[in-house]
Structure 1
């Protein structure tokens, strides 16, 4: 059935304009010319900035004007392009996942932004982005895609709410997050871009750069501000986090200020990963991620989707079985052989060895040798937690240093299995096992006994033509 061509909501003009304004190099150049090259004539001084703003608004309007889409029986048809018109047909059966979110602008006018991921897309950019469509239209697009991928049958199953993240869990997730350092990096990048316009020398009124104590206090204040911003950001992101299963589709909704809904087919899931960070693991919490055949549906890593951002470890098996009956999550891993123990501890030592060497040679600070003790402990913990297990048609790989990651993958989803050896591993009878489920996404365990690695390889080759 042919549908008429449709346009985006006019608020998309503002969204496209703001996107153009975020093109940092052009905006920074216009500001730099306007501020530094003063002639005394306001019209001449601010002309570059006005020209850039006019270009952004014109491009935003034309991007909205030239963008149309329509739904056909088995395809989605899109026309776009300001100067070069592009036409694309996207078959519904190539669509890997669909998600929609609503920022402040979208919520003001009651629209959402729709992301559609397809096979063969670019890694860092979704195949289709509809910045502003009504909620009814977004639901219609999602239903059309879902019905086509499930055999053109109307969905009669009621929605089953699998998981809801409670407020206390959201608060614990935000407090134990490691996003403070990324906030510090963002603040540093922002300050480095505008250091010519901000009189940092006036900060000496409060902090004397030659005073070590004041400098440490200043750094502590910056770290605390970054930590608070990180906690607030995680609270806004994971509030109202809910996982719903409907027929063969998993739908994840999350967000406070910017609400987001992500839908992906169960058949697109290639593996399941369980991550254990040190602090959360002490309290019995882990996080569960999906490795799916699609893009970064939640603006995270390509091919990765957060299923349960924080869940008690004793509840993971039942929750995953509810969503994915084929997977059998477990914790029964055979420890690596004792020959691998010292190699794990040495690798951990290598990562921090440079710090005590520099401080001893240049500053005679021998107390930094104490850093080697926790490094040895981390290496030993990594050795104790690493392992490989085969259960029926499922392979599980567990490894990591500070964060332990366990990847469960079904045999038919494994694209390649690699067993490799270095010269040292060959002498000790050890191997490295790598299993790839998607290009660039794989699980790896180092220093597995070569006899066990041979069993894994023979298991993988069974029933393979």
Structure 2
């Protein structure tokens, strides 16, 4: 039965709540106008205006919900929407690349879920198929149906009870708490400090001033007698607030993190209030990034993310990296990498460092601002010590960064473009840089800096040459 002949299905009525929130934001100007008339004493006019706005909004929401339907056929899914101007969108199964399921707290109470269908032709930031609220059982059956049709399966998977495979990676509450404590960033610290100096002055909450501590510390001693004491106390408060913010934000996003392998797709579930369930086909994964930092590496923690042709619906952004292991031990990545047909670099990996001109050219460029050079030159040297690459039979490895340490695993078959660039100063030192892009990767691509000019040309040709 084709999608046109299939029985139409409607969204759960709870989808009206989502539409109501959007409608209120769109009608903010009219609501403000009603408030203006009420302030002027024209209560009847204000009530009539607000009543008319509410009536039109509710009527529009009900009509939109009533006119929205979807049909699940043997070859495609059809979505019909619109009140006066009708849109009939047909999405063949072989064009659906990813099916994501998410549940807000309201969805979970009602036993429904939001389903997002993504195709390779979806425009930036917009998915071609979005079912705001259908029953959770129907959402899971629809995902399995799409997966079966896409892979050529014949069985009616809507009624099959599939066994849950053991997870490749999971995070317990202790691991999530650890990640939250390690998620404190300098940007967050700066934002909290700025808030105390702006909003804090308005609400009289500035922990960097002596008068803030006077009612708290009756016998403050050194803390109240010295200006530096109040500053140190303020830094402690901002630091604790930053740690608490990191823990709360991480807990809401990563609680119950589980990664499993179902067929030829990764299935990632996470979230405390809003629970997301994302399916990521292995064939769409283009590259992997193992990330860490000086503190995390010393403690033995790393993070694994992949770049994929699919967007990450749980993040609300197009081309967002899919995180497969937010906080893991290096040996815990082995099952995940094995599922992708990859392995982490070992002691036998032949790393090639970039040219020393990575440091010297930087120092020459900063000579006019010598004080800044004294501050940044040591950091540039540390960055050079960790920047290297290794070209193996079927993949390119790029290691960069001192503070933000990244290890890129890039299969050669997935490389789309390679740009060789050199600036005026780089030509004087005989160095060039390569920028490597993959489909679905970051907008700026992956940067390999400060290669000797001849090495850069040879590597450029090698990366663009067809596989033997």
Scaled to the shorter chain, the TM-score interval is 0.7 to 0.9
Q: Does 1:127 align with 2:128?
A: yes
Between the two proteins, the alignment pairs up a number of residues equal to 435
Determine the C-alpha separation between the residues in 1 that align with 2:386 and 2:52. 60
SS in 2 for 1:161: coil
Which residue is 2:224 aligned to? Answer: none
Q: Equivalent of 2:353, from 335, 346, 361? A: 335
How many angstroms does 1:301 deviate by? 4.6
State the TM-score, normalizing by the size of structure 1.
Answer: 0.82
SS in 1 for 2:113: strand
How many angstroms does 1:42 deviate by? 3.1
Which residue is 2:222 aligned to? Answer: none
Bigger CA drift: 178-187 or 231-240?
178-187
Deviation by residue 1:409-440 (Cα, 9 ceiling, x = unmatched):
21221111122212222222211111110263
Bigger CA drift: 229-238 or 148-157?
148-157
Which residue is 1:365 aligned to? Answer: none
Which residue is 2:466 aligned to? Answer: 463
Map residues 32-431 of structure 1 onto 2, 5 A cutoff.
34=35, 38-45=39-46, 48-153=49-154, 159-178=165-184, 181=187, 203-204=203-204, 224-225=240-241, 227-299=243-315, 301-303=317-319, 304-316=321-333, 318-325=334-341, 327-330=342-345, 332=349, 333-343=351-361, 375-400=376-401, 402-431=403-432
SS in 2 for 1:415: strand
Deviation by residue 1:435-460 (Cα, 9 ceiling, x = unmatched):
11026362111112223323322322
Deviation by residue 1:174-199 (Cα, 9 ceiling, x = unmatched):
1121478569969999xx9xx9xxxx
Determine the C-alpha separation between the residues in 2 that align with 1:446 and 1:415. 19
Which residue is 1:443 aligned to? Answer: 446
How many angstroms does 1:322 deviate by? 2.7
- Structure 1: state its 5+ residue gaps: 358-368
How many angstroms does 1:277 deviate by? 3.1
Change (3 A) 1:179 1:231: farther
Change (3 A) 1:240 1:433: same
Deviation by residue 1:324-361 (Cα, 9 ceiling, x = unmatched):
01x233164322122222345678x79xx99xx9xxxx
Q: Equivalent of 1:9, from 5, 9, 12? A: 12
Determine the C-alpha separation between the residues in 2 that align with 1:246 and 1:131. 25
Determine the C-alpha separation between the residues in 1 that align with 2:58 and 2:421. 56
How many angstroms does 1:55 deviate by? 4.3
Change (3 A) 1:12 1:219: farther
Deviation by residue 1:85-104 (Cα, 9 ceiling, x = unmatched):
11111111112211111111
Determine the C-alpha separation between the residues in 2 that align with 1:461 and 1:162. 34
Change (3 A) 1:218 1:17: farther
Deviation by residue 1:380-431 (Cα, 9 ceiling, x = unmatched):
2221111222111111223346312222221221111122212222222211
How many angstroms does 1:308 deviate by? 0.8
State the TM-score, normalizing by the size of structure 2.
Answer: 0.81
* Equivalent residues of 2:293, 2:402 under 8 A apart: no
Determine the C-alpha separation between the residues in 2 that align with 1:109 and 1:157. 25
Determine the C-alpha separation between the residues in 1 that align with 2:432 and 2:245. 44
Determine the C-alpha separation between the residues in 2 that align with 1:118 and 1:457. 32
How many angstroms does 1:81 deviate by? 1.9
Determine the C-alpha separation between the residues in 1 that align with 2:238 and 2:42. 40
* Equivalent residues of 1:16, 1:59 under 8 A apart: no
- Structure 2: state its 5+ residue gaps: 214-229
Determine the C-alpha separation between the residues in 2 that align with 1:407 and 1:208. 42
* Equivalent residues of 1:99, 1:262 under 8 A apart: yes
* Equivalent residues of 2:37, 2:43 under 8 A apart: no
Q: Does 1:18 align with 2:21?
A: yes
* Equivalent residues of 1:124, 1:296 under 8 A apart: no
